[in-house]
Amino acid sequence: MTATDFITSAKRTIKMEADAVEQLLGRLDENFTTACQTMLDCEGRVVITGMGKSGHIGNKIAATLASTGTPAFFVHPGEACHGDLGMITKNDVVIAISNSGSTAEVVTILPLIKRLGIPLISMTGNAESVLSKAACANLDVSVDSEACPLNLAPTTSTTVTLAMGDALAIALLESRGFSAEDFAFSHPSGALGRKLLLRVTDIMHKDVEVPRVKADQPLHQALLVMTEKGFGMTTVVSDDNRLLGVFTDGDLRRIVDSKVDINSATMADVMSANPKTIDGEILAAQALKIMEDSTITALIVEDENHHPIGVLHMHDILRAGVV
């Protein structure tokens, strides 16, 4: 095959699968509605089962459901016949996937599912199959032919089944009012999880790490505190620890240019009043936006009594992987 032949083959495969997925639009009927409502009413978990390639697709559908607010897991039908059926309870719903609708390992467990009295949803390519007729709702995932030129390797059929599984998951997600923050709770280690879960208080510097000087202290003492703490700034507080202002490296450069006597100046003379502050409970991603909008690299965290309780530096956000 030439390079052109490879591209031609790929385009044919993608076109066939895209056409097959588009045909699903005309098959979304009362069976899909019943399947969604059955899963919404489920007090247990949604159990997906299927053999071979259908099983691989089932695994992915289960993972998608679980991460979008519908507790789900995959059970191999062969293993179910040898003990794993005990993983299924009377409060669960089963989704059985089989293109033919007559896969032996899946059909074998149908009487056991019926004995448990739990709802069965099927995803098949044959509406007249044993599996389809045993289900309370059959989702038609039939295809005219596989993309495989031998019409043997599951290709188009698995793509269509996966699309139907995604349609179920998203319909349930929207019905539940599942939010981005809910999604983040299922993905705490991912970038989205860090953006939507990590709060300023989780990564800020606090207690003795917060640089503090009094308003009547001389500037040269403040410079020692700034050097020790390493944030390029210090808070300026009253005797009762209320925030009065801030002094930064930028302020230092400005007073040097204005020829202020560093040896005699106090913090009250050189501080910037009304500094930019944040609440510790806001998201770290929000704090980053504030820094970017204000063109600053650190923020003071204060409590409801205007006491400085923390400092958040841009480096802290970067280390936490929020961006």
Q: Are residues 157 and 241 in the same domain?
A: no
Q: Are residues 249 and 308 in the same domain?
A: yes
C-beta of residue 98 within 8 angstroms of C-beta of residue 106: yes
CA 37: distance to chain centroid?
Answer: 25
How far is Cα 163 from Cα 297, in angstroms, rounded to an integer?
A: 45
Q: Are residues 149 and 99 in the same domain?
A: yes
Q: What is the reported pLDDT for 194?
A: 65
Torsion of CA 161, 162, 164, 166, to 10 degrees: 170
C-beta of residue 64 within 8 angstroms of C-beta of residue 186: no
Q: Are residues 17 and 89 in the same domain?
A: yes
Q: Please report whether residue 185 resides in a domain.
A: no
Q: Are residues 166 and 262 in the same domain?
A: no
Q: What is the reported pLDDT for 121?
A: 97
Q: Which of 178, 208, 224 is the last residue of a domain?
A: 178
Q: What is the reported pLDDT for 265?
A: 87
Q: Which of 128, 147, 178 is the last residue of a domain?
A: 178
Q: Are residues 160 and 221 in the same domain?
A: no
The torsion angles phi and psi of 214, rounded to 5 degrees, stand at -85, 160
Nearest to 316 by CA among 226, 195, 205: 205
Q: Please report whether residue 151 resides in a domain.
A: yes
Q: What is the reported pLDDT for 234?
A: 93
Name the E strands within the chain. Answer: 46-50, 72-74, 93-98, 120-124, 137-140, 205-206, 212-214, 233-237, 243-248, 272-273, 277-278, 298-302, 308-313
Q: Are residues 219 and 315 in the same domain?
A: yes
Q: What is the reported pLDDT for 192?
A: 60
Q: Please report whether residue 136 resides in a domain.
A: yes
How far is Cα 69 from Cα 176, in angstroms, rounded to an integer?
A: 8
Q: Are residues 168 and 56 in the same domain?
A: yes
C-beta of residue 244 within 8 angstroms of C-beta of residue 236: yes
Q: Please report whether residue 153 resides in a domain.
A: yes
Q: Please report whether residue 305 resides in a domain.
A: yes
CATH code of 30's domain: 3.40.50.10490
Q: Which of 145, 178, 211 is the last residue of a domain?
A: 178
In this structure, the number of other CB atoms found within 10 A of the CB of residue 217 comes to 16
* Residues linked to residue 73 through DSSP beta bridges, in sequence order: 47
Q: What is the reported pLDDT for 134?
A: 95
Q: Please report whether residue 273 resides in a domain.
A: yes
The torsion angles phi and psi of 236, rounded to 5 degrees, stand at -120, 120
Q: Are residues 208 and 286 in the same domain?
A: yes
CATH code of 302's domain: 3.10.580.10
Q: What is the reported pLDDT for 285?
A: 83
Q: Please report whether residue 188 resides in a domain.
A: no
Q: What is the reported pLDDT for 244?
A: 94
The torsion angles phi and psi of 183, rounded to 5 degrees, stand at -60, -40
57 three-class SS: helix
Q: Are residues 244 and 122 in the same domain?
A: no
C-beta of residue 243 within 8 angstroms of C-beta of residue 308: yes
pLDDT in tens, 44-94: 999 999 999 999 999 999 999 998 889 999 999 988 776 677 788 899 999
Q: Are residues 118 and 10 in the same domain?
A: yes
Q: Are residues 167 and 302 in the same domain?
A: no
199 three-class SS: strand
The whole domain housing 221 covers: 200-319
Question: For 117, what's the count of Cα atoms within 13 Å in the CB-facing half-sphere?
Answer: 2
Q: Based on the structure, what is the number of domains in the chain? A: 2
Q: Please report whether residue 190 resides in a domain.
A: no
Per-residue pLDDT 10s for the chain (323 aa) are: 788 889 999 999 999 999 999 999 999 999 999 999 999 999 999 999 999 999 999 999 999 999 888 999 999 998 877 667 778 889 999 999 999 999 999 999 898 899 889 999 999 999 999 999 999 999 999 999 999 888 878 899 999 999 999 999 999 999 888 765 666 556 555 656 666 678 899 989 999 999 999 999 999 888 999 999 988 899 999 999 999 999 998 888 888 778 777 778 899 989 989 888 999 998 888 888 899 998 888 999 999 999 999 999 988 888 887 76
Query: Order of strands across the sheet with 298-302?
Result: 205-206, 308-313, 298-302, 277-278
